[in-house]
Amino acid sequence: MTDLLRLLKLFTPYRRWMLGGIALGSVVILANVALLALSGWFIASMALAGLGLQTIAYFAPAALIRGLAILRTGARYGERLVTHEATLRCLAELRVWFYERLEPLGPAAMDTWRGGDLLSRIRADIDSLDNLYLRIVAPVTNALLCGIVIVAGLAWFDTRIALLDLAALMLAGAVLPLLALKLGDAAGRGLTEARAALDGAATDTVRGLGELAVLGAVTRQRERVAGLAERLIRHQRRQMWVGAIGRALSGLTANLALWGTLILVIPRVAAGDMPGPQLAMLALGVLASFEAVAALPTAFAAFGETAAAARRLVEIADATPVVTAPDPAAARTPARFDIAFDDVSMRYRDEADWALAGFSLTLEAGEAVGLVGDSGAGKSTILALIQRFREFQAGEITIGGVSVRDIDDATLRQTISVVAQRTHLFNASIRDNLLLAKPDASDDEVREALRLAGLEEEIAHFPDGLDTLVGEVGTRLSGGQARRVAIARAFLRDARILLLDEPTEGLDADSEARVLEALGNLMQGKTTLLVSHRPRALAFVGRVMRVSKSDLVTAGS
């Protein structure tokens, strides 16, 4: 509940849209109740007039009925328009809010939440929150407002009917929905979790399809996904049941209230205490009054799912980033680009083993050093630490004498370029993939970067040159080409520090040679850390250091 209120507060900039939607919704309900009640009265009066039992000035009521019908239709249209506008604006706000909190968590967030799970929170949970205003806040407010007006209106004619209607509205609008809420909360939570599990498994399956096929595990994985899908359907079915039974019981209550009204009013009309047409008016008015609470069972059934979605979003939004950004006033910009690791120790969790213990390394500005070592020795950790993706517990890391803890994120990103084994290419043109590194680069600069990366000719042969679309996840570029795109990005960015993380891993000798040639250009004058086991790659650095858990030795090469 507190999570929902917190997210609702984010929507305050759009309160005018939200209140406007609620006002229009109330107009729709009240116009509808008035229309039905007045029509009942009017038809009964006209019938009596036809029988010669009374006279009626029909012009004014007929015009009023027409007016109410037009008002109802117009307000309904306006209500849909305004409530949807309000919802979409709120969701846009929510997405930005969530992303702003997700970003500082950095790659470390992936330790806690899997990619598919994060994706589903961004997509499905935020979408679930469109319920918050549209299906929860607006209908509940409308029910309260309209309920009060209708009951007061009925009381003007007959207090007993007003009390009867009030009781029936409370039953259909509060008691039954609260029961539905109790059932819907568990189902809703299960539903959100089941959907996240299914999304996660589906994403995993698609990403790992190659491995699954090789390991012959496709069938097993398919059964797992099918099982999760069935679980999702079970939860959905349960929630549908809750909604359907709620609606059926509300309908029953409304019809019982109609009968009750007739039982109360007929003796009064028979006794001549009330004009006959009012019988039709009150009976139809009572029946129509249930429109005010009609949306409540759905509202409360959606409550569980929406609250669970809010809880999951807030959980991420409140997660503390593993690294703290420096106080903007204290942030410093390095003027030199030598790097020093001084007795650095790091572990991923408080109780975990040290991933890096007392690691020291100094690089002069412009120097290139290679890092080798067994898998798990801590090479990736070293690269992550200098990029401030992870926090270290002891020692100090400096760039140009400035602690990395005092360098703000934007400066650090400007200072460091990375070429890694995996290069993510966006499904956009080659030009756009390069401009990511420098959005205002001219075509000449882009071409020069491609030339230096040894890609100019190959790209000139592509059908649309720089505007050729890269297939999803870079499928239309070879591994070597993709890495040279990353190198071209690094040329454009022209950061003074270069981190090369197994840049030629998985390439054949020919591709490796071309990538290394491009890297050789790129490394000129840059402080470079190269993680690699490839002798041809290591030949490009002045010094190679072996990283090992037990003893850290520096070896010349």
CB atoms within 10 A of CB 243: 19
**548 belongs to the binding site for ligand ADP (CB under 6 A):** no
CB of 110 to ligand ADP, least distance (A): 8
Q: Which one, 57 or 352, has the nearer CB to ligand ADP?
A: 352
Q: Which one, 443 or 551, has the nearer CB to ligand ADP?
A: 551
**389 belongs to the binding site for ligand ADP (CB under 6 A):** no
Q: Which two tokens stand for residue 102?
A: 């997700």
Helix (H) or strand (E) holding 530: strand 527-531
Q: What length does the chain have?
A: 557
CB of 378 to ligand ADP, least distance (A): 4
Q: Which one, 187 or 547, has the nearer CB to ligand ADP?
A: 547
DSSP 472: G
Does residue 346 contact residue 381 with C-beta atoms inside 8 Å? Answer: yes
DSSP string, 287-344: HHHGGGGTTHHHHHHHHHHHHHHHHHHHHHHTPPPSSPPPPTTT----SS--EEEEEE
CB of 399 to ligand ADP, least distance (A): 20
**393 belongs to the binding site for ligand ADP (CB under 6 A):** no
Which residues, numbered 515-544, are part of the site for ligand ADP (CB under 6 A)?
A: none
Helix (H) or strand (E) holding 4: helix 2-10
**378 belongs to the binding site for ligand ADP (CB under 6 A):** yes
Please list the residues that pair with 344 across neighbouring strands. 359
Choose one: 71-79, 116-124, 368-376, 428-436; the region binding ligand ADP (CB under 6 A): 368-376
CA distances from 245 to 136, 231, 290, 293 (A): 19, 21, 16, 15
- Secondary structure class of 399 (helix, strand, coil): strand
Q: Which two tokens stand for residue 512?
A: 């490796």
Does residue 175 contact residue 295 with C-beta atoms inside 8 Å? Answer: no
Q: Crossing angle of helices 296-317/176-207, nearest 10°?
A: 50
**377 belongs to the binding site for ligand ADP (CB under 6 A):** yes
Q: Which two tokens stand for residue 317?
A: 């939004």
Q: Which one, 370 or 378, has the nearer CB to ligand ADP?
A: 378
Q: Which one, 433 or 532, has the nearer CB to ligand ADP?
A: 532
CB of 20 to ligand ADP, least distance (A): 48
Q: Which one, 307 or 372, has the nearer CB to ligand ADP?
A: 372
CA distances from 323 to 268, 385, 405, 543 (A): 77, 10, 9, 30
**376 belongs to the binding site for ligand ADP (CB under 6 A):** yes
Site string for ligand ADP, 319-358 (x = CB under 6 A): -----------------------------x------x---
Vertex 287 angle, CA 284 and 293, to 5°: 145
Site string for ligand ADP, 459-488 (x = CB under 6 A): ------------------------------
CB of 105 to ligand ADP, least distance (A): 13
Choose one: 72-80, 143-151, 256-264, 376-384; the region binding ligand ADP (CB under 6 A): 376-384
CB of 522 to ligand ADP, least distance (A): 22
> CA 54 to CA 36: how far, in whole Å?
22
* Chain-centre distance for alpha carbon 110: 16
DSSP string, 268-293: HHHTTSS-HHHHHHHHHHHHHHGGGG
Choose one: 126-134, 372-380, 463-471, 520-528; the region binding ligand ADP (CB under 6 A): 372-380
Does residue 305 contact residue 287 with C-beta atoms inside 8 Å? Answer: no
CB of 108 to ligand ADP, least distance (A): 7
CB of 423 to ligand ADP, least distance (A): 18
CB atoms within 10 A of CB 39: 18
CB of 113 to ligand ADP, least distance (A): 12
Does residue 179 contact residue 299 with C-beta atoms inside 8 Å? Answer: no
Exactly one of 373, 421, 431, 436 binds ligand ADP (CB under 6 A); that residue is: 373
**401 belongs to the binding site for ligand ADP (CB under 6 A):** no
Exactly one of 121, 379, 447, 534 binds ligand ADP (CB under 6 A); that residue is: 379
Longest dimension (CA), the chain: 117
Exactly one of 381, 433, 527, 532 binds ligand ADP (CB under 6 A); that residue is: 381
> CA 34 to CA 64: how far, in whole Å?
10
**545 belongs to the binding site for ligand ADP (CB under 6 A):** no
Does residue 482 contact residue 423 with C-beta atoms inside 8 Å? Answer: yes
**111 belongs to the binding site for ligand ADP (CB under 6 A):** yes
Site string for ligand ADP, 80-109 (x = CB under 6 A): ------------------------------
Q: How many residues bind ligand ADP (CB under 6 A)?
A: 11
Site of interaction with ligand ADP (CB under 6 A):
111, 348, 355, 373, 375-381
